[in-house]
Amino acid sequence: MRIGFYPGCSLNGTSREYNESVMAIGKAMGIDWVELKDWNCCGATAAHSMNKELSLALPTRILALAEKQGFQEIVVPCASCYNRLSVAQYELEKDETLKDDVLTVVGLPYLGTVKVLNVIQFIEKYIMDILPDKIINPFTHQVACYYGCLLLRPHKILKFDRLEDPQSMDKIMSVLGATPIDWAFKTECCGAGLSVSRTDLVGRLSGNILKDASDRGAEAVIVACPMCHSNLDMRRSAINKYLMNPITIPVLYVTQVLGLAIGLSAKELGLERHFVSVNLKETELCQE
């Protein structure tokens, strides 16, 4: 099955393990990933706060390239990229004058025919029906499914899952053998792009997320966003300083958990790249 794929900047850099896990589960499930040619940065996270025309031109060029290359839909694993492409589609659809201005900058035709799928939507559409028969190593752990901001907001544009208590990732985890917990921080902000400029704030915001997950018995936090993963995983020293009590539960991408459940190795899924060691004995994930 041939499916268009837009990795964005993070999956080629700081979130290589996310890319590796997406590629690995695609291969295992018979997906022929076709990476968009000549793609550019979508503008996240700063463009929309600096220049509206630029913030729309960057994702519109990606969408125009997808149309030109014959894709009816593209999978966009990064939540920030998914958000920016979806917002661009919405803005151009409702304002023809703005669309003409942006396309003049882009220099490519764009009809608005490409559907943008985030990684959870991709799993729901192409994998969920065949997933139960593929599971050989159920992920028998309590997990906190963390959706963050960008998969759900703005809700009037994305229209993906319930805004306050989303369930799509929880359902995937249940099929994989996990037990999703009921918790209070599913959609709270982790600090987003303040990771470098205000690491102290990221420590506080992400610390509150991890503390609630840990207090409620989660053995792992599950994400579908490179920025959320970076803040919850890489900024653990700032988090522990804020909490004054170490939190050791790991943070995994939903694609990594899926890969483990269908028998892929920790190395294939990039688990050795995490800052917080993934060491869940029942699933034999020790990284030694």
Question: Which residue type sits at 52?
Answer: K
164 within 8 A of 185, measured Cβ to Cβ: no
Please state, in angstroms and rounded to a whole number, the distance separating the CA atoms of residues 92 and 178.
Answer: 40
- DSSP letters, 14-36, are TTHHHHHHHHHHHHHTT-EEEEP
Q: pLDDT truncated to tens, each residue of the chain (288 aa)? A: 889 999 999 999 889 999 999 999 999 999 999 999 999 999 987 777 778 899 999 999 999 999 999 999 999 999 999 999 999 999 999 999 999 999 999 999 999 999 999 999 999 999 999 999 999 999 999 999 999 999 999 999 999 999 989 999 999 999 999 999 999 999 999 998 787 778 899 999 999 999 999 999 999 999 999 999 999 999 999 999 999 999 999 999 999 999 999 999 999 999 999 999 998 764 445 433
- From the number of C-beta atoms within 10 Å of its C-beta (0-12, 13-18, 19+), residue 96 rates as exposed
| CB 11 within 8 Å of CB 76 | no
- Rounded to whole angstroms, how far apart are CA atoms 192 and 138? 31
- How much is the pLDDT for 146? 98
Taking a C-beta distance cutoff of 8 angstroms, is the pair 207, 215 a contact? no
Distance of alpha carbon 3 from alpha carbon 26, whole angstroms: 10
Instruction: Show Cβ contacts of residue 95 under 8 Å, excluding neighbours closer than 6 positions.
Output: none
* pLDDT number for residue 153: 94
User: Can you tell me the distance from the alpha carbon of 252 to that of 18, in angstroms, rounded to the nearest whole number?
Assistant: 9
The dihedral built from the CA positions of residue 25, 4, 223 and 198, taken in this order, carries a sign that is: positive
Helix (H, G, I), strand (E, B) or coil at 4: strand
Q: Compute the distance between CA of residue 37 and CA of residue 256 in angstroms, rounded to an integer.
A: 26
Kindly list the strands in the beta sheet with 251-253, ordered across the sheet, starting from the edge strand earlier in the chain: 179-180, 142-145, 220-223, 251-253
Element (H, E) at 75: strand 73-75
